[in-house]
A and B are shown apart, each in its own frame.
Chain A
């Protein structure tokens, strides 16, 4: 037997094994530290620093100390950090290359802590995509509440537009009227006509030649008078038409200030319905920020939970690889994924405010693995508030199920009796000084789709504002009358850019409360607007009145001239005929008298002859 046993070989084997174990012991810590820092930095896009990693043997475990994960958006701030993580690792699976952690405990977990050195990676930009901020909302609000002068200066006004058209029309019609009047007979011309007419129509015709001569002159005069009469008629038509046109435009101009006011009122929501979306304006960006933060963390965590077999292929159907063989799995109560943390426990200390501790949140996470299909269990998160100063109770439940594709993740948070203080609303310098908040929120994510709802109930809110703007003051006064309000937020659609809906009964309450104040303010603004619009109107009214008066005068004058000319023409014709008739009648009368005299004489003579 001695011939076959090589005792020195046993010693050599043990020495070699011990050497491997010692090297592994010393190397594994730095190797894990290097892995966490290198791959963690890549995942977080910022520096991940670990103070030390060491192994413990009874039980086998890892002791990681001083981990800081920098915030890629704020390099001088840690996203989170923890003082110590102790993990209890199973040895045999580790030999198989499976990291099975029965329990991991994190202590000293804190978020958003300041850093002494920058956490930015050498080649990473820290510029954050700028979203819609509260300052933007404030500017928007202020921008939407200009003064009457700003409104009038900024907006195209019908009053001005129609006024300018009216002014041009006045000039045009005035020129046309003057042109039409220019060639018309003057009073002097009319007097001359009358004189000429009298000369022609009075006195007897000496002879037929005289008559014919006067008749010729009379016809010429008549022709001139008729021509003037026609010109006067044309001028009257031009003036009447111009006057009608001006009057029509004037009516339009007079209604323009009213129409302008209606347009301005509608555009700038100078009515109570303008407050209908005020809660969205006040809280919309905050909800957006929170949603973005939640989605940021989700998108960071989610890839690590994706199963290798998200395509639903059974492990037995893996394609065989030459020289490596194929792993055949069997049913077991003790499945071994490549990495599994069966239970992780951590206490998150809420950041203190003004030296006042806010308490902590106990978080338990079960079955953390990227191969949920192997253990056939989803990752579960349970968090519970502990000794919270300003919150009565906080419960959070989350399930991240990536056993099938697409994965389905569900979150549920219930927060009761949170004392909210000095909450900077953002818009209009508004601050929620004090309020009691109850929050219920649920979210479901499947693939790249999200569906989330939340309801926050604010009781006994107390608002204040540092803004001196009229709108801010008025909104604050209106908010002072609100005893309780809720905010319902929902997100639906693509997980990267979901459609966020925000509604609140604050809208209705604010709407009612603001209605009265807005009505008063609307009245004031309306008066100011109307005054200023009327001022503009009056600037055009002077031209209008002068022109209309001038046209009326011209029209009246032309009417008189027309009447005189008509009278002259009528009178002349009548006198001339009468003269001819009178002459004929006189001749006939003389002739008849002669005949009668002759007949009388004949009768006398006949009678004389009889007697």
Chain B
């Protein structure tokens, strides 16, 4: 866990583009909020593997959003329920239901559909927000933090040594 956190800090402080870190968080939003063992998460994992994003941020983000999902599951289920039982969408869902491929996606599971829709809706805002946060952190916070006396003390600590070891 300490290593992962170190990786995140390293990524934040490294030369990695803010967009790569932000995209990692955004993809983690989907894997974290939706049930992990879902077909669409295989696709997300594939994207996470082939797109040059920060993998540590992706894993940490997944863990973070998974924890959040436990609290939000009832909301996700009600969203999925309302969508799946929506009269105007019945033809659409029934059409998808005829295909084994779409049934593999478990679109007819209230939790899967509800959480996926919420995650997709939040994808772009989270991407933009996290990108802004990374940029702001680097421009303001990191510079300010480096001037702090406590930072200098921390840099002399064992935690920083681990961080340095991983950074090399």
Q: Which residues from chain A sit less than 8 Å from chain B, CB to CB? A: 3-7, 9-10, 12-13, 90, 92-93, 95-96, 320, 322-334, 336
Contact = CB atoms under 8 A, between A and B. Distances in A.
Given A3-B52, A12-B49, A96 B70 contact: no
A325 B106 CA distance: 10
A92 B77 CA distance: 25
Interface stretch (B25-33, B108-116, B120-128, B157-165): B108-116
Contact of A9 (B50, B103, B111): B50
B100 A334 contact: yes
Contacts of A334: 98, 100
Given A5-B50, A322-B77, A326-B109, 16 more contacts: A4-B52, A5-B51, A9-B48, A12-B49, A92-B101, A95-B104, A322-B73, A324-B35, A325-B35, A325-B76, A325-B112, A326-B110, A328-B108, A328-B109, A334-B98, A336-B100
B103 A336 contact: yes
Interface centre among A96, A325, A327 (most CB of B within 10 A): A325
Interface in B50-80: 50-52, 70, 73-74, 76-77, 80
B50 A327 contact: no
Q: Give the interface SS of chain A, mostly helix, strand, loop or mixed.
A: loop
B74 A322 contact: yes
B49 A327 contact: no
A326 B52 CA distance: 36
Interface in B7-47: 35, 39, 45-46
A4 B16 CA distance: 11
A322 B45 CA distance: 25
B146 interface: no
A325 B45 contact: no
Q: What 9 A-B pairs are tightest by C-beta distance, nearest first?
A: A325-B111, A9-B49, A92-B100, A330-B97, A13-B49, A325-B109, A325-B110, A330-B94, A328-B84
Contacts, number: 89
A421 B36 CA distance: 66
Contact of A331 (B50, B52, B94, B108): B94
A96 B50 contact: no
A6 B52 contact: yes
A321 to B, nearest CB: 9
Contact of A323 (B45, B73, B84, B98): B73
B85 interface: yes
Nearest to A6: B52
Nearest to A326: B110
A9 B45 CA distance: 10
Given A325-B110, A334-B98, A13 B45 contact: yes
Nearest to A13: B49
25 contacts: A4-B52, A5-B52, A6-B52, A9-B49, A13-B46, A92-B101, A92-B103, A93-B103, A96-B100, A320-B77, A322-B73, A322-B74, A322-B77, A323-B35, A324-B111, A325-B35, A325-B76, A325-B80, A325-B109, A325-B112, A326-B77, A328-B84, A328-B110, A332-B97, A336-B103
A329 B39 CA distance: 18
Nearest to B20: A4
Q: Give the interface SS of chain B, mostly helix, strand, loop or mixed.
A: helix
A327 B81 CA distance: 10
A6 B49 contact: yes
B124 to A, nearest CB: 18
A336 B108 CA distance: 13
A333 B110 CA distance: 22
B137 interface: no
B108 A329 contact: yes
A92 B106 CA distance: 12
Interface string B116-142: 000000000000000000000000000
B79 to A, nearest CB: 11
B104 A330 contact: no
A314 to B, nearest CB: 13
A330 B108 contact: yes
B1 to A, nearest CB: 23
Given A325-B80, A325-B112, A333 B52 contact: no
Contact of B70 (A5, A323, A333): A323
